[in-house]
Amino acid sequence: MALKVQILILFLSTCFVLGHNGIERKTPAVDSNLYESVIDAEECRRQIRTIRRNSMLMLQFADAGIRTPRGVLTGNSVDMGNYHQCLGIDHQLEDMHIEGKYCSILVPVNQTLHLPRPRDTLNSQFDPYSLQVDNDTMRLMKQYYKTRSELQLLSGNFEEFEDDTRTTPPNPLIWMTFRLAVCIPKPCTTQQAISSLLFNVTAVGFHYTEHYCRISNDKPWSPADTAAVVIFSVIGFVTIISTSYDVCYRFILKRDVKQMSTLGRSFSFYTNGQRLTTFSSSGGNLQCIDGIRTLAMLWVIVGHTFSTETFIANPADSQSWMFSAEALWITAATMTVDTFFTVAGVLLVYTTAAKMNQMTFLKNLHWFYLGRYIRVTPLLAALVLVQASFLNRWYDGPHWNTVIAHTERCRNHWWSTLLHVQNFVHARNMCIAHSWYIAIDFQLYVVSPLVLIWVFSGKKLQAWVGLIGGLVAVLIGSTIYSFNLNLQAGNLVPSRFPEMMDYLAEYYFNTLARASPFFVGMVFGYVLHLYRKSRLQIPCFLALFFWACFAGILGGIFYFKYRIKQFEWDNQLVDNLMNSFMRPVYAVAICWLIIACVHGYSGPINWFLSLDEWRLPARLSYAMYLFHYPLMFTLNNTTVSPFYFSVGNFVFKFMSYMVLSAAISFFFILLIDSPITVIFKLLMDSVKKPPVKVKEDKAENVNIEKNGTSNTMNKTNEDLEKSGPEVITVEINGDSSTRIRKNVPTD
């Protein structure tokens, strides 16, 4: 049966890839052909004549359209007009239907305009060089325009990344390009409309580039929309039926819950919500990890809150703050993902080392892989479907290009995301841009048996050889790789911003470069396993030394994170050393924090990290990681005006995103993750647990004893919550000589 399951998974994976190669490109997020098909020069002239005679209609188009950006001297070059007002223009006449079309145009400041002028004036050309700007403003604007493309990339705007290596001019206004909005009649081109309603573009010498145009109802229905509606409708219907069955069985019929069908209530919101919010008080748990996971997740969200804002009203101010020491708690947030890798390595060894040997592990290797795939994929698949359909269809805004790009990536590259190879296959065009972490995590689990097989030998020497050997191999490989690439050492390095995309694709998303924290975690997970039942004795002075090293590691990381974001930074050797060793050293610091908390060397830190209040958000952390980022760039691109930067404003946005992400994560865990987890465990039980055959004899008294405690054969959902090997003892007339051991590797 297990072989059949593997063959089925392999077959489906092959179908995904072949289907991608054999089927032509998917339906685009917006219909670009529709813009061309509505162009009609003659109809445009008729509508413009009508608009000129209707002062209120003329005012509607003018009010929703072009105006000068506010805050130019603080770096703002964007005015979005009034997007929804423009597309809301719908004027029906007897012989024509006047509708609004919203267009974004790029207007360079440095251009010669042939404007009519009074007799006494000498020149009508606008000369940016003649503007007198104070030195501080000039410095901020120079820095901003030097790094604006990199800031766009950090906000998820990969399509408009400019590889611009030009030197900054004496006056940065020379480079400034206004991004303006114009509201024009639907059948018109921007040139025809501007020339007819405002001024003659050709005669004046007005140069601009049409960026994009949007009209109402320009999002065609796609197969992704159909799939999303059908799949979520079916899941929703099953959830309603399952929840109704559960509630009716419990509260109306008032029957014994243990007699209820586990499969029948697997989709029940009541049972799944109860399980999600119920916590055991097992003393063997590494409860401090809940606090570490939650704080790491909050660090990710706050970092993305600051980096994903699309348009800022005072970008020079935000850029000045971002490159200052005050922003280190934001710019160093990229290290927090290594916390997840480290914790994953710790838990992998700690939760499995005492439960199986080499033979049982090899026999259950397919379940090890399948279990991890089922653990990380369902919520990711749901998000892919939401991104490919609902986020694009339910929301809209004046700068929708980023969401359009993410939507089309998921419609074209969904298969690589579900196979967890997107960081290699589509590193520069990933569906779900931040899913590279899930891909690397899954790939590390795939290779982890090469080390785990030594740990399961039961011999300390062999275990240490395997663990240290794996870590050293990864460190050597990543060091050679980093020194060969010679890339920058962080996401925000203004002196090397043209290399930003190369850094992300070749280092930041690369499995080898990011693997060392996982293997460091495995080493310390084995230390925790060895001292599972006893306290690790560390002299007081040595514990203080380790805490000093912990503080020194974090302080050193923050220091070099600050140094590399200075505009004059140029030290390739330090960059290579940071790329090679910064992450494993950080992982060592996190592992010391865990060991100190578990074995009583952290005082109030362990009390804080082990608070029960962290347990629910820790369970939500994976889903929050998935959903918060698409939520951010979707909502950011619905804004109709630039957002004013201040730390307080962004902290408020962070709190909003945190609460909204937690609520959405809670819902999707109950809807998708919990039911699939229960069904998968039922599948494992049906495949792996052979039926207990007992001769029918009235004189024989049969009891089932689990781990020494008598129980019935009925397996409830609470039993399914258990992980690891179970020892089932069949006792016949007091003879408990027969034992059946079931080993199931779990996360």
Report pLDDT digits (tens) over 506-532.
999 999 999 999 999 999 999 999 999
* Band (701; pLDDT cuts 50, 70, 90): very low
User: Within this chain, do residues 113 and 198 fall inside the same structural domain, yes or no?
Assistant: yes
User: Within this chain, do residues 375 and 510 fall inside the same structural domain, yes or no?
Assistant: yes
* Band (5; pLDDT cuts 50, 70, 90): low
d(CA 405, CA 383): 16
User: Within this chain, do residues 61 and 179 fall inside the same structural domain, yes or no?
Assistant: yes
Q: Is residue 622 assigned to a domain?
A: yes
User: Within this chain, do residues 318 and 199 fall inside the same structural domain, yes or no?
Assistant: no
Q: Is residue 52 assigned to a domain?
A: yes
Give the pair of three-digit tokens for residue 695.
């001769």
d(CA 267, CA 525): 34
Give the pair of three-digit tokens for residue 249.
């069985």
* Band (567; pLDDT cuts 50, 70, 90): confident
d(CA 114, CA 108): 15
pLDDT of residue 745: 39
Torsion of CA 267, 273, 275, 281, to 10 degrees: 170
Could you list the residue range(s) of the whole structural domain that residue 191 is in?
32-131+171-214
User: Within this chain, do residues 711 and 634 fall inside the same structural domain, yes or no?
Assistant: no
Among 628, 722, 673, which residue's Cα sits nearest to residue 239? 673
Among 503, 489, 501, which residue's Cα sits nearest to residue 570? 489
- Tell me what the mean pLDDT of segment 592-600 comes to: 95
- Taking the CA atoms of 180, 184, 186 and 188 in sequence, report the sign of the dihedral they define: negative
Q: Is residue 151 assigned to a domain?
A: no
pLDDT digit string, tens, across residues 710-729: 333 333 333 333 333 333 33
pLDDT of residue 27: 78
Residue 312 pairs in a beta bridge with 643
8 A C-beta contact, residue 427 and residue 509: yes
pLDDT of residue 28: 86
Q: Is residue 337 assigned to a domain?
A: yes
Contacts for 740 with CB less than 8 Å, ≥ 6 apart? 690, 692, 727, 728, 729, 730
* Band (95; pLDDT cuts 50, 70, 90): confident
Residue, of 27 and 99, whose pLDDT is higher: 99
Q: Is residue 662 assigned to a domain?
A: no
pLDDT of residue 114: 64
d(CA 628, CA 617): 14
Q: Is residue 618 assigned to a domain?
A: yes
d(CA 550, CA 659): 31
Give the 3-state secondary structure percentages of the chain, helix then strand then coil, rounded to 5. Answer: 60, 5, 30
Q: Tell me which residue has tokens 């975690």.
A: 521
How large is the angle between the packed helices 55-63 and 41-53, nearest 10 degrees? 110
User: Within this chain, do residues 730 and 627 fall inside the same structural domain, yes or no?
Assistant: no
Q: Is residue 125 assigned to a domain?
A: yes
Length of the chain: 747
Question: Is pLDDT above 70 for 8?
Answer: no
Among 349, 545, 342, 321, which residue's Cα sits nearest to residue 464? 349
* Band (140; pLDDT cuts 50, 70, 90): low
> Taking CA 616 as the corner, what is the angle to CA 726 and CA 338, rounded to the nearest 5 degrees?
85
pLDDT digit string, tens, across residues 320-365: 899 899 999 999 999 999 999 999 999 999 999 988 889 999 999 9
User: Within this chain, do residues 395 and 522 fall inside the same structural domain, yes or no?
Assistant: yes
8 A C-beta contact, residue 183 and residue 157: no
pLDDT digit string, tens, across residues 108-128: 887 776 666 555 555 545 555
Contacts for 632 with CB less than 8 Å, ≥ 6 apart? 304, 305, 308, 657
- Tell me what the mean pLDDT of segment 378-407 comes to: 94
- Predicted structure pTM score: 0.84
pLDDT of residue 148: 57
User: Within this chain, do residues 417 and 537 fall inside the same structural domain, yes or no?
Assistant: yes
152, 180, 214 - which closes a domain: 214
644, 668, 693 - which closes a domain: 644
User: Within this chain, do residues 565 and 430 fall inside the same structural domain, yes or no?
Assistant: yes
Torsion of CA 84, 87, 93, 95, to 10 degrees: 180
> Taking CA 330 as the corner, what is the angle to CA 326 and CA 332, rounded to the nearest 5 degrees?
100
> Taking CA 734 as the corner, what is the angle to CA 729 and CA 738, rounded to the nearest 5 degrees?
35
> Taking CA 326 as the corner, what is the angle to CA 325 and CA 332, rounded to the nearest 5 degrees?
70
State whether residue 378 is helix, strand or coil: helix
8 A C-beta contact, residue 117 and residue 124: yes
pLDDT of residue 173: 62
Question: Is pLDDT above 90 for 461?
Answer: yes
| Strand bridging mode 97-108 / 209-214 | antiparallel
pLDDT of residue 690: 58
pLDDT of residue 728: 36
189, 214, 239 - which closes a domain: 214
Q: Is residue 667 assigned to a domain?
A: no
pLDDT of residue 280: 80
d(CA 720, CA 697): 31
- By percentage, how much of the chain surpasses pLDDT 90? 61
- Tell me what the mean pLDDT of segment 274-285 comes to: 78
d(CA 509, CA 502): 10
Give the pair of three-digit tokens for residue 726.
């179970």
User: Within this chain, do residues 330 and 193 fall inside the same structural domain, yes or no?
Assistant: no
User: Within this chain, do residues 486 and 371 fall inside the same structural domain, yes or no?
Assistant: yes
pLDDT of residue 730: 37
8 A C-beta contact, residue 716 and residue 261: no
Q: Where are the alpha helices (DSSP H) in 669-723?
A: 674-688, 717-720
User: Within this chain, do residues 623 and 737 fall inside the same structural domain, yes or no?
Assistant: no
Residue, of 55 and 2, whose pLDDT is higher: 55
8 A C-beta contact, residue 732 and residue 705: no
- Tell me what the mean pLDDT of segment 295-313 comes to: 93
Summary mean pLDDT of the chain: 83
Phi-psi sector, 406: left (phi>0), alpha (psi -120 to 50), beta: alpha
H helix count then E strand count, the chain:
32, 8
pLDDT of residue 68: 87
- By percentage, how much of the chain surpasses pLDDT 70? 79
Sheet of strand 726-732, all strands in order from the earlier edge strand to the far edge = 709-711, 702-706, 726-732, 735-742
d(CA 436, CA 608): 31
Residue, of 674 and 496, whose pLDDT is higher: 674
* Band (141; pLDDT cuts 50, 70, 90): low
Count of structural domains, the chain: 3
